[in-house]
Amino acid sequence: MAAFFRQGLPTIGLVLFAVLATVATGEAAAKLPGTLTVRDALTLPNHSVRIEAQVAVKTAALAPPLSGIVLHLQIDGKDVAIGKTNEVGKASFDYLPKFRGTNVISVSIDAEAPIGAEKVDATLCVWERRRPIVVVELAALVQSALASPPPAASPGTGSMDDPAPMPVPEAAEELSRVTQYYYNVVYVLSDDQGPMGQASSGQVRRWLEAHKFPAGFVAAPVPGGLSATLDNLKHDGWTTMKSGIGRTRAFADILLQHRMEVVVVPELPKGELPRKAKGAKDWKEVRKKL
C-alpha cells in the first residue's frame, strides 16, 4: 500500500495541476462586462462626419486598460471601418456620406477584446441646410405618470422594475406628418430630465423607434443644458432651427430666447404660457400652430 501511494502521488499531482491550469485559463478568458455607447451624428451630403464611441467597464475592480480595444463600425449593416480606443476608452471614425437621408450606425467590440458588450446602434442624419428643423422636447411625447398606468415591460427605456413611459396618444402620427415633407426633427431632453428620468441618448432612441416616432437626431445632453445644445447646433451651421414643440415653460422660454417659434402641448394653464408662445390643446392642433 505504501508503495502504491508513493507511485500514485505524482499522478495525482499532475491531474491536480491540469485542473488548476484549466480553471486559470478559463478565468483569464472570461470577459469583463462592459458598456458601449455611440452618439447620433449629423452632417451634410459629401461632408465628412466624426462618429464617436465610448467603451467602459461596469466594475473598476481588476479592470484592464481601456486603450487599444478594437471596435468595428458598420453603416446600414455594411462594414466600414475598424478603430482602436484611446486611454479613456474612446474611439472615433471619420465617414463621408454621399447622399441625404437617415442611416443606421452600428458599433461592436472585437471578439478578442477583454471586455464584452452588446453591439449598439445610433443614427446618422445627413441633412441639407436649407430644410427647416423643428426641435421637439421629449416630455411633449411622453405621458405623465398620472396619465398612464405602469406597463409590464417596454422595449424602450427602463426595465421590468422601472418601466418605460407610454407615448402621448397621436403624438407619433402627428409628428410624422409634420416631418414627412417639410421639417427635420431634433429630439432634446428637458433640462430637468422630465418623464424619461436619467435616460441615455441610446435609450431615448430605442424608445422613439419602438413607438414609431419619425427618425431624427437625438441631441445628447451637454453642460449648459438645452441652451448650450441649441448654441452648438447653430455653431455647426444648423441655423434653420425655426420652430419647437414642447411641454414645459422652461423649454418655451429657452426657445423664445433663441428667437424661435414654440408650440406648447398641452397648453399650459392661463398665466403660465409665455406671451409669444403658442398653445395647442393636443397633438392634432400642433400642425395648425406651426
Closest CA to 141 of 203, 224, 225, 204: 204
Distance from C-alpha of 222 to C-alpha of 267, rounded to nearest angstrom: 28
Return d(Cα 250, Cα 239) in angstroms, integer.
Answer: 21
Q: Under DSSP, is residue 230 helix (H, G, I), strand (E, B) or coil?
A: helix
Cα 245 from Cα 257, distance rounded (Å)? 15
Spell out the domain ranges in the chain. 32-126, 133-289
163: nearest Cα among 202, 215, 187, 199: 199
Q: What is the pLDDT along the chain (290 residues), one digit of tens a residue?
A: 444 344 444 444 433 333 334 333 444 457 889 999 999 999 999 999 999 999 998 876 666 778 999 999 999 999 999 999 999 999 999 999 999 999 999 999 999 999 999 999 999 999 999 999 999 999 999 997 544 444 444 444 443 234 578 999 999 999 999 998 899 999 998 766 555 656 677 889 999 999 999 999 999 888 999 999 999 999 999 999 999 999 999 999 999 999 999 999 999 988 899 999 999 999 999 999 98
Domains 32-126 and 133-289 share a fold: no
CATH number assigned to the domain with residue range 133-289, chosen from the 4 options 3.40.50.1000, 3.20.20.150, 3.40.640.10, 3.50.50.60? 3.40.50.1000
Burial of 125 (0-12, 13-18, 19+ CB in 10 A): buried
Record the pTM. Answer: 0.81
The CATH superfamily label for domain 32-126 reads: Immunoglobulins (2.60.40.10)
